[in-house]
Structure 1
Amino acid sequence: MNREDEPRVVGPGWHSRVYAVVRLVPAGSVATYGQIAALLGSPGVARHVGYALAGASRAEEPVPWQRVINARGGISARGDLERGREQRELLEAEGVQFDERGLVDLARYRWRGAPP
């Protein structure tokens, strides 16, 4: 199956589903955008996980958005350097370490859990 044939399910309730899975990621661990999308049965829509997390501040319950990073182990600030700094500070406060390139060791910190 090539990438174009992968199922892509983004629709009503998507944000809530993303938030529910992200809330399962424990402090001191990280998940990637693609990992969250795959856990929700929608591989190939990592960008939509990012869109959902951009609105996490409006969620009814807190969402630990800082625990979701890119597939390289980096922070995707998308031009918002202040938010990128905030994300790094929050992760470091949880015990996540960054290397000299600003990357997280995914082999060490990646969450291995699954959705409910």
Structure 2
Amino acid sequence: MPQNNFYDDVYQVVRLIPSGRVTSYGAIAAYLGSKQSSRVVGYAMMACGTAQPPVPAHRVVNRQGLLTGKFHFGGDTMEQLLAHEGIKVIDNQVQNFKEIFWDPATELNL
């Protein structure tokens, strides 16, 4: 059961990421006090398809700004969702990553 609670915690954080910004699996894991759980954050993103309210999983990328989860969206859906929010992606890499990076530990005043 604790894993479901962790997933819910992840979803709550991801829902707070503003449009036009991205964060990383590791930043979410660190914010939730579980630095070593970035992979579990990824699993949570894979499982969030039916979560209500919806989870903007397209705003979560790896620590280098790569769209490592894009194949779970199918085709270029992840890139298109980011582009719709004004985020430029070239070769599966978020451009201006450092400028648009949203760190929950900073943004949520931890």
Does residue 95 in structure 1 map to residue 86 in structure 2? yes
Aligned-pair CA distance for 1:98? 1.9
Task: Report how many residues are paired.
Answer: 105
Matched, 1:69 2:85: no
1:42 counterpart (29, 34, 43): 34
Q: Which residue of 1 aligns with 2:44?
A: 52
Question: Any conservation in 1 of the 2:61–2:69 contact (CA below 8 Å)?
Answer: no
Distance in 2, matches of 1:114 and 1:44, equals 20
User: 1:24 touches 1:115 (CA, 8 Å); kept in 2?
Assistant: no
Contact 2:62–2:68 (Cα < 8 Å) also in 1: yes
Give the TM-score of the pair, scaled to structure 1: 0.80
1:72-102 per-position Cα deviation (integer Å, ceiling 9, x unaligned): 1110137x37536111100010001124x43
**Conservation of the 8 A alpha-carbon contact between 1:18 and 1:49:** yes
Residue identity in the other structure for 1:60: Q
Unaligned runs of 5+ in 2: none
Gaps (5+ residues) in structure 1? 1-9
In the aligned structure 1, how far is the partner of 2:65 from the partner of 2:78? 13
Larger Rg: 1
Instruction: Give 2:36's aligned amino acid.
Output: G
| TM-superposed deviation, 1:54 | 0.7
Q: Deviations over 1:20-77 (max 9, x none)?
A: 0000100000000001101111101111001011111121211101000011111013
> For 2:22, which of 26, 30, 41 is the aligned residue?
30
Aligned 8 A contact 1:29 1:111 in 2: yes
TM norm structure 2: 0.84
